[in-house]
Amino acid sequence: MARLPLVLALTCLGSGATLLGGRALLSLIPAPDPNTPTPTLERLRRFSPDPERRRETSLLLLPRLEKGDLAGERRLLSGQGWGGNELAALVLKRDALATEALGDQAAAQQNWQLLVRRFPDTPTSADGLYALGRQQPQLRQKLSSHFAFHPAALAAAVEAGPSELDRLQAALHLADHGVRWPGAEPRLRKACQSKSAVATPSQRDKLARGLAQLGDSAAALSCLKDSAPSQETQLSLSQALLGGDREQQAQAQSLLLQLTKSAPLSSQASKAAAMLSEQPGPRALQALKQLPSALQDTAPIRARLAMESGDIGATLNVLQRWPSDPASWELQWQQARLALLKRQWATATTLLSSPIGRKLPVGLVGRQLFWLGFSQKQQGTSAKAQQTWIDLIKKHPGGYYGWRAAVRLSRGNLNLNPRSSPALLQPRWHPLGSGDWQIDQLWRLGQPLEAWEHWRTKRNSPPSSPLELIVEGRLRRAVGDHWIGLGQLEQASLRLPVAAKCGLAQQLERDLQTASFVAELEEAGATAGLPATLLAAVAKQESRFSPGVSSNAGAVGLLQLMPATAAEMAGMPLAAEALTDPARNAQLGALYLKQLLDQWQGNPVLMAASYNAGPSATAGWVTPLLQQEPELWIEAIPYSETRLYVKKVLGNLWNFQQRPLASC
């Protein structure tokens, strides 16, 4: 018996060592993610000794169930709501939604109550507050104060009532935290027009700013009545007015000039001056001369004045003083483009060789290097030109300029043969890298909506840095918001510095090269006899893969078809709503693209120009220069929109076909 304590101690130590060893061994096994095969997930869910791993695999299996299999979802979630971490809260939420959809309201209420009680501070409980708030309005107030940016709080604001005061407070919440949320705009309008709940001047200013951000300058001005707008509202209102007619543009310029004079040292005044510098015409130029002295010697103003004067010395001075300012980047390109079109190769080389190249973001380096090589070749230094293009396709092989450099070096070209053109890249999961372990974990477990809601809840300002834009853009695309999401990814490429981590740059390129609605585009391409990559290239530029968007001109859907064009391709009249179906839109858009490609004997440049500007306008631009120097021909297109469109579509096509990544 004397030895019993020793035996027990050794047994406990052995068991502890075994547990620790098992835990260490488990940590060496890669964590499951959406790329893990289903059979592997099923084995882990049943046989893994780690309960956390079993829960993770259960969550990963949820998206792989057949749509509407609520019983299967409850089976996977059964017994997984243990512990005190975010995943337990997620299990309770998913189970509550499933039981609610199955009609078991009592069980759903219990789950919602348990969620709110156990996890009051986690963003997931916002859904519980929203659901319970249907019968307990005070919980909706808690929702809006604790989780202001959460989609549940925004949805609750849209539904707010019945009193006018409740609706006013809800409209103010939407103006602050979700002005673009579906249903927010009519709420803001009604709050401005309400006579029973009179808004204060500061509240009207906030509502007006929201309406201006939505582009409705008339409603914003009406909401303000006779009160003076704040500086932030002046900026938003000016931005909206600049998109209007000549009279509205003049009104915007007056507002901007007034702002610069009232607070010349403020950040808003700097933004106002920059906006003024971007406006064309003599009126804007005259306004620049009236700016306070504190704003006269800034990059946007000096860049505009240098551009107007055409003085290369003044241009080089701006580039030297402000190499990191976007106004300098645009000045360099516009002056270089004019020199190229005038065949002033030495001037173009001087401009493009400026040290500003070391400060350009990733998305602009290809343009600078391509035209530098082009100018070098025109001056007879072919070896130097070739080396410049080699550097370009090594460091920045994607996009329009990567394509043109590859053609110049005989290293590839676009493929319009549907039989030999590569298929579209299938979307594949990659780590998010948000810097927040909870958000990254939710993303890894195939819960993009939950990750997106956490991201929104934890942020109180729009993304600004390249990393933030990349993370939010990927999250938005994952939940179906391709319009804003893809726009943010493209914006990130114009802000990502050349010195950024190569892995981040490559991930951004992969995201930009991944299409949506792959199956629909592949089928439409096969039917029309076109590569699906061409359809994806057009869809990306036309709608950012957003099937529900419409243009001011009336174009609808994935490939932005005009109803008349769609009717011609279909051989029958079509309602605009029919064109929001991505499969139907892709089929008709493919037929029209095939018609244009046949019309221009397979020339992709003329096809792209015609899709944007129309075949008649394009026919009037055709000259021998198109065959001799196609890059210069494109730069000579008189419509700036079409000029950019052609480069974007053909650059997209190159990316979808070659999938180039920057070298590390």
Catalytically active residues, by annotation:
542
CA angle 294, 295, 296 (to 5 degrees): 100
Tokens of residue 442, six digits: 């939710």
Identify whether the C-beta of residue 204 lies closer than 8 Å to the C-beta of residue 223: yes
φ/ψ bin of 431: left (φ > 0), alpha (ψ from -120 to 50), beta (otherwise): beta
In the three-class reduction of DSSP (H, G, I as helix; E, B as strand; rest coil), residue 402 is classed as helix
Which candidate, 516, 507, 522, 521, places its Cα nearest to that of 476? 516
Position of tokens 């401009």? 351
**Cβ neighbours of 169 (radius 10 Å):** 18
Beta bridge partners of 556: 550, 561
Q: DSSP letters along 526-555, please?
A: HHHTS-HHHHHHHHHHHHTT-TT-B-TT--
Of 533, 499, 550, 528, the C-alpha closest to 597 is: 528
Q: Helices 448-458 and 151-159: crossing angle, nearest 10°?
A: 80
- Range 591-599 contact pairs with CB under 8 angstroms and sequence separation of 24 or more: 591/528, 592/559, 592/561, 592/565, 593/528, 593/530, 593/534, 593/535, 593/538, 593/559, 594/528, 594/529, 594/530, 595/569, 597/416, 597/530
Question: Nearest-CA neighbor of 256 among 220, 281, 292, 221?
Answer: 292
R_g of the chain computed on alpha carbons: 29
- CB 489, CB 474: distance < 8 Å: yes
Q: Tell which residue, 250, 240, 249, 252, has the closest CA to residue 185.
A: 240
How large is the greatest C-alpha to C-alpha distance in the chain, in angstroms?
Answer: 106
The tokens for 21 are: 């060893």
Residues composing the chain:
664
Candidates 469, 498, 502; CA nearest to 486 is 469
For 266, phi and psi rounded to 5 degrees?
Answer: -85, 160
Distance CA 189, CA 200 (A): 15
Q: How many Cβ atoms are within 10 Å of 247's Cβ, its own excluded?
A: 9
